[in-house]
Chain A
Amino acid sequence: MEYFLQQLINGLTLGAIYGLVALGYTMVYGVLGMINFAHGTIYMVGAFISLITFLVATTVLGTSVPLALVLTLFAAMGLTALWGWTAERVAYRPLRSAPRLAPLISAIGVSIMLQNFVAQAQGARAKPLPPVIKGGVTLMDSGDFVVSLSWMQIIIMAMTLALMAVFTWVITRTALGRAQRACEQDMKMASLLGIDVDRVISTTFVIGAGLAGVAGMMVTLYYGVIDFYIGFLAGIKAFTAAVLGGIGSLPGAMLGGLLIGLIEAFWSAYFSIEYKDVATFSILVAVLVFRPTGLLGQPDVEKI
């Protein structure tokens, strides 16, 4: 029971991170109908930006840890968003009217390029960061097994919740969100009605990359080790999460992320850690076969 509870906590933390990355996939897919393959890599860039900003803030600028964390948060969000914006501007926008596969290939190219850029600029070795936020609360102590909830896990979940709240507010209540939803439904019609489609798409990428940047920061602080390759698997899993929740559906992405995190944690805990990725993908296949629209997705009615 204690073991189960601990895995539940670990899984939810992991799932929160996946969910944040999955939002970026699902938003871009919703608007452009395209798999933004480079999104996982953008998340990796976010992790590096956070690591570097944090180290600069604490060692060079000599700020206290809480201030450094706030600085890192803004840097990770802002600069990662800038990377996402640039990727869209350079590699996807010129291909908007191109055949369907062209932006996908371009995105794969961006992903390969960014990965190797980071490997060259910062070295290919894994980068360790000693734990920044230590300690936590003990939830249950049965003598031989202690269920603990670390501060870091609390921060990750709280921040994910906060971001989700802000994000939901932006999408449902603001003019920007309305424009975004309009583009999702019918881009041509939206542009006829005076919505600047290019701007909406840019914003979509900026928001997605910003969220991925925060996810990158949290993963850096949580695991304390990153390398240039972390974007690939995390990207696939986040995409799996987006599909599982129903691609295009924002709450679905978050739900999918949590489910993937839980599946991964429980599978590693109770079955085998080597095959945890197999479990994730098998579930993806199973969901797509039995419920192709995902858990919360709208069925896509084909009209002739």
Chain B
Amino acid sequence: MEAKTARTLLVDALLGGLVAAAMALPMLGVRLEDSANGLSLSGRLDWVAWAVGIVAGGRLLIGLLRLLLAGRVPSPPAPPRAVMAYVGWAMVAFALVLPFLPFSGRNLVDKATLVLIYVMLGWGLNIVVGLAGLLDLGFVAFYAVGAYSYALLSQTFGLSFWVCLPLAGLLAATFGMILGFPVLRLRGDYIAIVTMGLGEIIRVVLQNWQDVTGGPNGISGIERPSLFGLSFKMVPPEGKQTFAEFFGLEYSADHRVIFLYFLILALALLTNLFTLRIRRLPVGRAWEALREDEIACRSLGINPTLVKLSAFATGAMFAGFAGSFFATRQGFISPESFTFIESAVILAIVVLGGMGSQIGIVLAALLLVGLPEWFRELQQFRMLAFGGAMVLIMLWKPSGLLSTREPTIRLKDTS
């Protein structure tokens, strides 16, 4: 028995190595060099040897581990709901004090802001994907609509960030309704592909509508936000005070970074609160019911198109908020920030987090957006590792990191 398993393991590893050799031979074994007259080739067979070694060794190792660990590792029980609530509060508290911790600096707060943007987008998309069960692969379109709405409204009419924020959300939601209306009568996977197409359409339009959107050059010099009229600039605009002057502080560029951090934290928490509350309202329950069984819902008098549309528009609205925040943070937007890969990242965050789990989304955002930020030096391998992580997490936990689904509402035990 033992000998046989050892043999199968070895054969398995060898076969794996063989497949790897065939796959790697053209892709790794030959390097295309750009030269003056087209392309020239250079051999790189050592890389093939490495690839074969890694694959064969890896297969052997995995096989051995499987054999040794078979049935020994019990999966840890899911943490109960009460514990998760505490974890949530602890996270919020940590997020609130983060900028003032001794080890934090401008860099860290900036990265945390980026992660929070994705957390907010994840929570927004969670309404569409996690609650209503509509697979949306074009979420970034609404993010783009929000960003461009703010940029254009502020530059054309000189409106402030605080006026534009709700307007951007409203516009994004309207877009969600216009785009969603033809789409939402479709069955599951078609929605995915059509939303992806719509996302691309919006990007192409942004890219080519030179007069309004500035085309590929984008829009620059977007107005930064102010706190109740207090500017964060070094020199305040005519008749305004700066934040530092008002509070008698020394001017520091960090103030704006920290302000932006708290702004996105507030926006993200608002999204979270909204989601948690609306799940208890009839419309939220209708979303979840629709995800579970559309036919049952129809027979109970729920209008699927309207209910789906409301979820779609709500998610779009939060993407619009996040978009205008993005625009004001960057000060510059171009269609390049709104490619399909962004939609994929956001969807990955929602699914990896365990659909419907708010804390799971935070974890996934930290893992997928935060972690790679620390490896900026390895820039070129970042996306490679990102793709790999997506596959590995799915293989490890196919229903997401935190996937216990508690019923939103229970009948009280009266006995």
- A-B complex is real: yes
Interface residues, chain A, with chain B CB atoms under 8 Å away: 29, 33, 35, 45, 48-49, 51-53, 55-56, 59-60, 75, 79, 82-83, 86, 90-91, 94-95, 98-106, 108-123, 125, 127-130, 232, 236, 239-240, 243, 274-275, 277-278, 280-282, 284-285, 288-289, 292, 300, 302, 304
Contacts A75-B26, A82-B19, A113-B387 known; 13 new A-B pairs at CB < 8 A: A55-B39, A86-B19, A99-B355, A102-B398, A104-B192, A106-B391, A109-B389, A121-B28, A122-B27, A127-B32, A243-B193, A274-B207, A292-B186
Residues of B contacting A79 in the complex (Cβ-Cβ under 8 angstroms): 22-23, 25-26
Cα separation A102 to B201 with both chains bound (whole Å): 26
Kindly report which residue of chain A lies nearest to residue B394, judged by CB atoms: A106
A49 contacts B41, C-beta separation under 8 Å: no
From known contacts A59-B41, A108-B390, infer whether A101 and B26 are also in contact, taking CB-CB under 8 Å.
no
Interchain nearest-CB distance for B288 vs A (Å): 15
Q: Is the interface of B mostly helix, strand, loop or mixed?
A: helix
Cα separation A130 to B30 with both chains bound (whole Å): 19
For this complex, 22 residue pairs linking A to B, each with C-beta atoms less than 8 Å apart, are: A35-B192, A51-B32, A56-B26, A90-B391, A91-B391, A94-B395, A101-B351, A102-B351, A104-B192, A109-B394, A113-B384, A113-B391, A115-B383, A123-B34, A129-B39, A232-B340, A236-B200, A275-B208, A278-B201, A281-B197, A284-B193, A288-B183
A53 contacts B26, C-beta separation under 8 Å: yes
8 A Cβ contacts from B325-358 to A: 340-341, 344, 347-348, 351-352, 355
Size category of the binding interface on chain B? 35 or more
Interchain nearest-CB distance for A30 vs B (Å): 12
A236 contacts B196, C-beta separation under 8 Å: yes
A125 contacts B34, C-beta separation under 8 Å: yes
A105 contacts B23, C-beta separation under 8 Å: no
Q: Which 4 A-B pairs have the closest CB atoms?
A: A109-B390, A113-B387, A98-B398, A112-B387
**Interface residue B38 (Cβ < 8 Å from any Cβ of A):** yes
| Candidates B22, B192, B197, B387; contact of A109 at CB < 8 Å | B387
Q: Which of A79, A95, A108, A285 has the most chain B CB atoms closer than 10 A to its own CB?
A: A108
Kindly report which residue of chain A lies nearest to residue B348, judged by CB atoms: A105
Cα separation A45 to B30 with both chains bound (whole Å): 14
From known contacts A35-B193, A120-B384, A275-B208, infer whether A52 and B389 are also in contact, taking CB-CB under 8 Å.
no
Kindly report which residue of chain B lies nearest to residue A110, judged by CB atoms: B391
| Candidates A52, A105, A125; contact of B347 at CB < 8 Å | A105
Kindly report which residue of chain B lies nearest to residue A107, judged by CB atoms: B391
B390 contacts A105, C-beta separation under 8 Å: yes
